[in-house]
């Protein structure tokens, strides 16, 4: 057992650090949930892509560096430590791309991945529906067979970044007569600007149009945009939720960097007599370290051919709770200044509050942990 | 001993509750956040009509008070309804001036504050340095660390709050000097305690509103073919929310009776934390729809955290509790 990186990995780290040092914008980009910020973040993706840093773990033929999971984690550490911008392409890169690697045709990969890596096409996830949140399998949007493809009807909602994104991926009911709700579903990709699509941005708690409702009225999807076999949508979709809950959505690098910022804030503004607050700062530092080490153990297992299964639910509950605790500690340190919306911690705090909801609510994750990892009986659901 | 509100006190709270229930408070809150004070002012004047602001003003200056218990019960209703504006600050300004005991200043300001014809914002040592809604009020008071009471001519520099319905201002340093000296500092201490008490009351009301809305939602939202309120994880969070609020309530009543620094701090601490926890629960159990500004729930969600910290953060209140 050891935690050392090889000289090659350290060289990779140094290369990433140098690149980030000379490219990360000196001033933070405007929020990516605004039109202006979205464009700025898209330009940042293009810059990253120019030197093949936008999707380091992808094969070189698609614009990546073929980095293994160890290198990817090292890159993420450097990325967040450098204070680099949030990733506008995240949905595509962390959710759709792994699905494509596992289930798409070579033609689809060649067509979709390069423009995703460059930020030219930004993807939105169209899974949830108004009546189908936690019970996603109950979804009712349909894809109806037509010549050369499918016609989409129905409504999707909470689609992050869809207000400004280009394309979306989602699951649709293709066989309403299937005996079980999660049968007869099909996974496909569609254009957010295609005829028949209406995008209605929804204001998040801070008023920014960070997600949107999609109304679909006979939207044509060619057969070439169906991922995997029709009717297999549920199985295909579920193979990516592990990515969403697990590593790729929230790598430890992000929390290590945040814990570091919090420690600095404590040293600048903390009252040494307030040991309760000091203890929470310490807990945040230890929490980031625990998440990092848990991740290294998981990555080592993964490197030896293991799969990320229900363990990803442990990740999800941990990071989402951790994120809230860390931000609340920062707000408490700021005292009356915590209320200022312009403060560096206000927006990320508000966003942290959504962590226990998206990517599968923590109530559902705890059920999964209890049933699949502890073997407890299945509850009424 | 009878540690329960009297019939009259309950009646007063009920009156406010039905008045506010009939008013379109969410619309007034949204307008207030957009800088349109008209609907909020109309709400204020109907509140003033019930004698609300007069409860903080002594009878000698056209008030009905001071009646901290009635005021605290009333402020629970203001929190429940989500009333916008510097309600706490207006009452605290009245308490400050009354406590100062300066005849000329009392005559100048208190009758207007009592009738609701005037409104006020105030910053005090030990509270936030930012004045709430300084653009919307008649008077802007500041007590400096050095014990000077000043009246500012303008609102100062605007700053935005994480709750758009709370508009913050950095008070200008100058302004008319109204009084100075140790009696100002002492009066500011009294006003701070009242502000803390009434904020605690508001927090309790905010928490109750969040809980009530979430209980309703949990009965009606179905997933997996059943109302989500039937899932034990949902039930337990709601039960815990009720527990925290019900144990904050007696602390609030005791604080209104004694107005002792320790009782007031205990009330503010528990009510503030209970309201914020209620907000987190409400958000979680509403799922994504709770995370939108479109749902009225957001008006209370965004208020909970700033109110928890206003007029004494939990950490400051804890220090007060153990200071003896
Ligand atoms: C910021 C944000 C971004 C999002 N981005 C996207 C996106 O890009 N694409 C997309 O498709 N979706 C997205 N979502 C939607 C997200 O996936 C859903 O919010 C989530 O699946 C929960 O569904 P719901 O909101 O309908 O809540 P509901 O399913 O209605 O749940 C409400 C409450 O009931 C609880 N509950 C439900 N069932 C059970 C049970 N069996 N046992 C115990 N408790 C239960 C839940 O845990 C929750 O607390 C986003 C959501 C947020 C908040």
pLDDT at site A248:
65
For B78-105, b where at least 16 C-beta lie within 10 A, e where not — what string? bbbbbbbbbbbbbbbbbbbbbbbebeeb
DSSP assignments along A130-169, one per residue: TTBSSSGGG---EEEEETTEEEEEEEEEEEETTTT-SEEE
Q: pLDDT grade, residue B13 (50/70/90)? A: very high
3-state secondary structure string across B251-313: HHHHHHHHCCHHHHHHHHHHHHHHHHHHHHHHHHHHHHHHHECCCCHHHHHHHHHHHHHCCCC
pLDDT at site A247:
64
B284 lines ligand 1 (CB under 6 A): yes
Percent of chain A with pLDDT over 70: 97
Q: How far, in whole angstroms, is CA A374 from its chain's centroid?
A: 27
B120-123 and B139-143 beta bridge pairing: parallel
Euclidean distance between CA atoms B246 and B234, whole angstroms: 19
Rounded mean pLDDT of B224-249? 98
Euclidean distance between CA atoms A124 and B11, whole angstroms: 53
Of A248 and B69, more confident: B69
- Residue B224 contacts A where some CB pair is shorter than 8 Å: yes
CA of A327 to the centre of ligand 1 (A): 22
Q: Which residues of B touch A336 (CB under 8 A)?
A: 127-130, 309, 313
Query: Is residue A283 packed enough to be buried (19+ CB in 10 Å), middle (13-18) or exposed (0-12)?
Result: middle
H or E segment to which residue A15 belongs: helix A7-23
A361 lines ligand 1 (CB under 6 A): yes
Euclidean distance between CA atoms A70 and B171, whole angstroms: 53
Q: Which residues of B touch A132 (CB under 8 A)?
A: 223
The backbone torsions φ and ψ at residue A343, rounded to the nearest 5 degrees and listed phi first, read -65, 155
Rounded mean pLDDT of A232-248? 77
Active site residues per annotation of A: 244
Contact across the interface for A204 and B293, Cβ inside 8 Å: yes
Rounded mean pLDDT of B243-271? 98
pLDDT at site A310:
83
Give the gap in angstroms from C-alpha B252 to the nearest C-alpha of chain A. 23
Structure tokens at A285: 């530092």
Structure tokens at B48: 């003033």
Q: How far, in whole angstroms, is CA A192 from its chain's centroid?
A: 19
**pLDDT above 90 for A185:** yes
pLDDT at site B314:
95
A134 lines ligand 1 (CB under 6 A): yes
Does the pTM exceed 0.95? yes
Euclidean distance between CA atoms A148 and B310, whole angstroms: 62
Which residues face B140 on adjacent strands? B121
A30 secondary structure, DSSP code: P
Rounded mean pLDDT of B76-87? 98
């Amino acid at each position: 057992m050891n935690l050392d990186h090889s000289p090659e990995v350290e060289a990779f780290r140094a290369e990433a650090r140098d690149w980030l040092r000379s490219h990360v914008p000196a001033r933070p980009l405007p929020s990516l949930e605004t039109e202006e910020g979205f464009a700025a973040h898209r330009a940042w993706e293009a810059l990253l892509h120019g030197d093949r840093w936008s999707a380091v773990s992808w094969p070189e033929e698609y614009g990546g560096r073929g980095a293994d999971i160890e290198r990817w984690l090292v890159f993420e550490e450097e990325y967040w430590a450098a204070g680099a911008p949030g990733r506008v392409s995240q949905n595509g890169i962390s959710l759709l791309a792994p699905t494509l690697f596992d289930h798409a045709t070579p033609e689809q990969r060649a067509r979709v991945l390069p423009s995703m890596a460059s930020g030219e096409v930004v993807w939105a996830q169209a899974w949830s529906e108004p009546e189908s949140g936690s019970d996603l399998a109950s979804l009712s949007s349909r894809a109806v067979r037509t010549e050369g493809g499918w016609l989409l009807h129905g409504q999707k909602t909470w689609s992050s970044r869809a207000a400004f994104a280009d394309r979306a991926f989602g699951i649709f009911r293709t066989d309403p007569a299937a005996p079980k709700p999660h049968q007869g579903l099909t996974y496909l990709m569609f254009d957010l600007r295609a005829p028949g699509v209406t995008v209605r941005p929804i204001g998040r708690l801070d008023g920014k149009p960070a997600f949107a409702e999609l109304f679909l009225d006979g939207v044509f999807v060619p057969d070439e945009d169906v991922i995997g076999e029709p009717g297999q949508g549920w199985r295909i979709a579920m193979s990516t939720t592990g990515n969403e809950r697990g590593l790729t959505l929230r790598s430890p690098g992000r929390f290590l960097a945040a814990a570091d910022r919090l420690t600095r804030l404590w040293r600048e503004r903390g009252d040494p007599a307030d040991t309760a607050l000091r203890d929470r700062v310490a807990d945040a530092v230890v929490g980031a370290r625990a998440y990092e080490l848990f991740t290294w153990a998981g990555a080592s297992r993964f490197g030896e051919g293991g799969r990320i299964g229900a363990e990803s639910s442990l990740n999800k509950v941990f990071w989402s709770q951790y994120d809230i605790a860390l931000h609340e500690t920062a707000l408490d340190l700021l005292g009356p200044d915590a209320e200022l919306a312009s403060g560096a911690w206000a927006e990320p705090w508000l966003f942290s509050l959504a962590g226990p909801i998206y990517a599968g609510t923590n109530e559902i994750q705890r059920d999964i942990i209890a049933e699949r990892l502890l073997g407890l009986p299945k509850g009424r659901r | 001993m009878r540690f329960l509100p009297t019939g009259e006190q309950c009646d007063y709270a009920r009156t406010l509750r039905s008045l506010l229930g009939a008013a379109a408070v969410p619309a007034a809150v949204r307008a207030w956040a957009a800088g349109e004070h008209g609907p909020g002012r109309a709400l204020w004047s109907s509140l003033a009509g019930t004698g609300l602001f007069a409860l903080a003003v002594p009878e000698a200056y056209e008030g009905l008070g001071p009646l901290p218990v009635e005021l605290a019960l009333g402020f629970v209703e203001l929190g429940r309804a989500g009333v916008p504006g510097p309600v706490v600050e207006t009452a605290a300004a009245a308490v400050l001036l009354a406590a100062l005991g300066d005849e000329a200043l009392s005559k100048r300001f208190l009758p207007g504050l009592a009738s609701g014809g005037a409104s006020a914002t105030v910053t005090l040592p030990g509270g936030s340095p930012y004045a709430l809604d300084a653009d919307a009020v008649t008077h802007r008071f500041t007590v400096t660390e050095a014990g000077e009471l000043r009246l500012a001519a303008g609102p100062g520099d605007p700053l935005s709050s994480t709750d758009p319905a709370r508009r913050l201002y950095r008070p200008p340093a100058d302004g008319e000097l109204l009084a100075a000296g140790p009696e100002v500092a002492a009066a500011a201490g009294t006003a701070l305690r009242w502000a803390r008490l009434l904020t605690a009351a508001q927090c309790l009301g905010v928490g109750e509103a969040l809980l009530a809305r979430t209980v309703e939602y949990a009965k009606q939202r179905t997933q997996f073919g059943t109302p989500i309120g039937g899932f034990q994880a949902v039930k337990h969070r709601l039960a815990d929310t009720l527990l925290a609020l019900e144990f904050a309530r007696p602390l609030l009543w005791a604080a209104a009776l004694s107005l002792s620094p320790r009782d007031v701090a205990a009330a503010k601490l528990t009510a503030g934390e209970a309201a914020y926890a209620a907000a987190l629960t409400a958000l979680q159990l509403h799922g994504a729809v709770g995370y939108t500004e479109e749902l009225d729930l957001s008006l209370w969600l965004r208020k909970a955290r700033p109110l928890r910290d206003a007029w004494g953060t939990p950490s400051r209140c804890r220090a007060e509790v153990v200071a003896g």
